Structure 1
Amino acid sequence: MEERIKNLIDYCQGVLRKENGKVLYERYLKDIQTITPMDLIHIENEQLKMGNKPEELLTVVDKLINVFYKYLKEFAMEAPTEGTFLYYLMEENKEFTEKLHTFKMVVKEREWDTYKEKTLVFLNEMMEYEEHLLKIENILFPMLEKKKDRFNGMQIMWALHDQVRKKLKKLHAHIEKDRLGTEEINMEMGLLYFQLFGLVQKQELILFPAAKETLSAEEFSDMHYQSREYGFPYIEKPKHFTKPEKEGKMNEDPTDNHQILHLETGSLSMDQIKSMLDVLPLDMTLVDEKDQVVYFSRPKERIFPRSPAIIGRNVRNCHPPQSVHVVEDILEAFKNNEKEQASFWIQRNSQFILIQYVALRDDEGKYAGTLEISQEVSQIRALEGERRLLQWMDEK
């Protein structure tokens, strides 16, 4: 590791330990002046490897950005080509930032009679940014992780996303139920404004330049195609998504999809297997014995977003940082033959979602991976009495 990077890590750790900021700055100024977006990603990842938690590092991220800002700004990338993955992310950010500035003017007007109503409208608009964040988490992050281990440091940015999500939901609920006075709302909205603006700043100052430096034009084209299943907040959704040549191919043999898989209970073609898996009303994700994602199904009604970019991704990086330890505990229990299944259920708006993790084993009982199965079961839970097969004929 370069001496310069070691010094920058020492500086960040000093800030984390709340040492004298002025002394630290003067001691490491020469190194601070050389920092690049890729350096910062490297530094954050090294701190995670040292045992620091994402939530812990988040407490000083804004301080560090303020110090590094002038030098990171020198690496501002050229505007991405129109119609590319990064182009649309930046267009969304442009409109998002405009909405932030508009609401800032609402606060300055101090028209308290309509303030609550306008604030709720603003918060609802901010929640639409979720689709933007999901594209970053499920498409861009995994593509970067495959390139360099240092991009595991993106866990910190994901933790920041989750902080903002919680803040938005909590603030919306408090205002809607009149739990906050006008001045309290004003203060909380001010804090939220800087958090939201900070998301854009970190993406365009650090993440996007590093991505452009790391990924090829073909990879950006692939990511744009994957984004077709997501929303495009604040802008018109693109009309054209060019399908990569590799999409949907088993290998170079075009007859592979017609090959037959012979099993003890029957025989199926590859086309039949794909159709069968995708028609099931289940979100399924398969993780192999090395903890890497190897497959996910594509039901008509998705429950959780999935993109081809996650194939080959370590399953730990597919979950928010605060829940990774639970995933690790489940996998460990499966590998040690202590458990065969883990079930959870959550409520999301009108949906009741059952999430199950099932251990896969070979004929000798050796651990072969984990299958995650998610299902929306509210209709099943509401069933009463019985409905027999012959009744279908009567109802045609």
Structure 2
Amino acid sequence: MVDERIDILKDILLELHRGASPESVQERFEEHFTGVSAMEISLMEHELMSADTGVTFEDVMKLCNVHANLFKGAVQNVEVADADQEGHPVYVFKQENLALRAALLRIRRLLENLAKPESASFKEDISKGLRHQFSLLGQFEKHYTRKEKLFFPIMERYGHDAPPKVMWGVDDEIRQLFKEAQAALDELPSGSIQDLSDKFETFAHEFEEMIFKEESILLMILLETFSQDDWLAVAAESDAYGYAIVAPTAEWVPKRQSFLESETERQTKTQVIETDQGQLTITFTPKATSSEMVTSSDPLPMGHGYLSPEQANLILNHLPLEITFVNKDDLFQYYNDSVPAQEMIFKRTPSQIGRHVDLCHPPKVLDKVKHIFQLLKSGEKDKVVMWFKSKSLGKFVHVTYAAVRDEQGDFQGVLEYVQDIQGFFELDGDTKRDL
């Protein structure tokens, strides 16, 4: 029955992609569906993009709002008690959306007042208020980044690879629309108020559509799929990316039953054995598990000397570089802890480990990433180097992608190392020695 429903959904969306009007397929949709689960939508999108239909994720992106409108009022809610608790990632996500909606409404009111002739004497104050509200609304970037860096990797591990790819692409389009509205705002007072209003409304429409997709489709998929441990991981890593306008007011601590033995319980075991002569009681201490027997203090041959795993880890973490290693199978395998996640130039969190490198980047830069990896894999280049001035950080950043090859010259992966080089531009004099 589930497969049949997915096939019907897929056929309906294929009709849309072939040019049918939303009105013409709405009746057929309502005929077959009194409710549709977000899980079915995810499976349908996966089938649509992976089957031999000729439909790409770019095609799905273009009709994303049409799809969402089709499902409005039909998507079944998923009730999870923890999701209503303060500090739970879903609760925080929804609170952010409320605050962002409020910023949208305040901007609309300010734009209406700015356009009134009688407000001429207050235009400077109104413009100041607009800039403040735009700065608040611009924090949606943190909301989107947390979604893309924390929600999407876990979704992909459960096989939901289509919705993240499509949503990330739409997120980037919304980011661009906001930049255009922000640029129009920056042109005030000489710029056109009507132009600003038009660009803001174009952004606001897409932004509000994304809120619907997040709360009615994305979160429903997550609530059906994620375990409590998944949500705990999201909560633990969220601070690294920050929050939009509102931050958690409490830590979410779920009620959990521990099934692990305490150290005292593990050290002493008593077992009663029934024999022909009566009961025999045996007391013993179990052997340590293999993980407890592993030590990180034993030195191992490395390069021209010896290092313990603990020492090697400390050295990597003390390098003034952000290091990331993607293995030969294109899986994100390692990053170092040179600085806290909040201070990283390219933020990394544990949930990204094991993710395919293609899924770690927004669709708009994916072709560039693939090109770099192809150059390194093929041997055409051993390194690809780039640098740029980060406006948000106010510093120059130097990035190197290096092919990692073994002694036989076989490709084993790509090492990325990122460095803040702003200090190099500020060197004064030919020599300096700290003695």
TM-score interval w.r.t. the shorter chain? 0.7 to 0.9
Distance in 1, Cα, partners of 2:367 & 2:102: 38
Aligned equivalent of 1:58: 61
Mapped contact 1:225–1:241 kept (Cα < 8 A): no
Distance in 2, Cα, partners of 1:346 & 1:276: 27
1:49-82 deviation line (CA, Å, top 9, x unaligned) = 255444432221112211210101x325454333
Distance in 2, Cα, partners of 1:328 & 1:222: 29
Aligned equivalent of 1:383: 427
Cα deviation for residue 44 of structure 1 reads 2.4
Distance in 2, Cα, partners of 1:280 & 1:297: 9
Aligned equivalent of 2:186: 176
Mapped contact 1:15–1:21 kept (Cα < 8 A): yes
Aligned equivalent of 2:313: 274
1:95 aligns with 2:104: no
Distance verdict in 2 for CA 1:238–1:151, change over 3 Å: farther
Aligned equivalent of 2:20: 19
Distance verdict in 2 for CA 1:375–1:46, change over 3 Å: farther
Distance in 2, Cα, partners of 1:260 & 1:47: 52
1:352 aligns with 2:396: yes
Q: Secondary structure at the match of 2:161?
A: helix
Mapped contact 1:355–1:373 kept (Cα < 8 A): yes
Distance in 2, Cα, partners of 1:87 & 1:66: 24
Distance in 2, Cα, partners of 1:199 & 1:236: 20
Q: Secondary structure at the match of 1:392?
A: coil
1:129-149 deviation line (CA, Å, top 9, x unaligned) = 22221211111110111112x
Distance in 2, Cα, partners of 1:46 & 1:333: 32
1:84 aligns with 2:88: yes
Distance verdict in 2 for CA 1:222–1:265, change over 3 Å: same
Counterparts of residues 307-318 of structure 1 (less than 5 Å): 307-318=349-360
- Aligned residue pairs, count: 383
Mapped contact 2:396–2:422 kept (Cα < 8 A): yes
Cα deviation for residue 359 of structure 1 reads 0.8
Q: 1:363 aligns with which of 382, 391, 407?
A: 407
- Name the TM-score, length of structure 1 as normaliser: 0.88
Distance in 2, Cα, partners of 1:49 & 1:35: 21
Counterparts of residues 149-298 of structure 1 (less than 5 Å): 150-178=160-188, 180-237=191-248, 240=251, 252-253=291-292, 255-298=294-337
Distance in 2, Cα, partners of 1:276 & 1:325: 34
Distance verdict in 2 for CA 1:299–1:177, change over 3 Å: farther
Aligned equivalent of 2:77: 75
1:337 aligns with 2:348: no
Which structure: larger Rg? 2
Distance verdict in 2 for CA 1:191–1:313, change over 3 Å: same
1:24-58 deviation line (CA, Å, top 9, x unaligned) = 33344434544221122222233332554444322
Mapped contact 2:35–2:74 kept (Cα < 8 A): yes
Distance in 1, Cα, partners of 2:4 & 2:191: 50
Distance in 2, Cα, partners of 1:331 & 1:268: 31
Cα deviation for residue 115 of structure 1 reads 4.4
Aligned equivalent of 1:104: 108
* Amino acid in the other structure paired with 1:30: E
**Segment drifting more, 49-58 vs 349-358:** 49-58
Distance in 2, Cα, partners of 1:232 & 1:254: 41
Q: Which runs of 5+ in 2 are unaligned?
A: 259-289
Q: Which runs of 5+ in 1 are unaligned?
A: 246-250
Distance in 1, Cα, partners of 2:156 & 2:358: 12
Mapped contact 2:404–2:414 kept (Cα < 8 A): yes
Q: Secondary structure at the match of 1:130?
A: helix
RMSD of aligned Cα (Å): 2.6
Distance in 2, Cα, partners of 1:347 & 1:119: 28
Distance in 1, Cα, partners of 2:49 & 2:191: 37
Higher helix share: 1
Cα deviation for residue 287 of structure 1 reads 0.6
Cα deviation for residue 384 of structure 1 reads 5.4
**Segment drifting more, 177-186 vs 154-163:** 177-186
Distance in 2, Cα, partners of 1:254 & 1:191: 60
Identical positions, percent: 23
* Amino acid in the other structure paired with 2:67: L
Distance in 1, Cα, partners of 2:252 & 2:387: 35
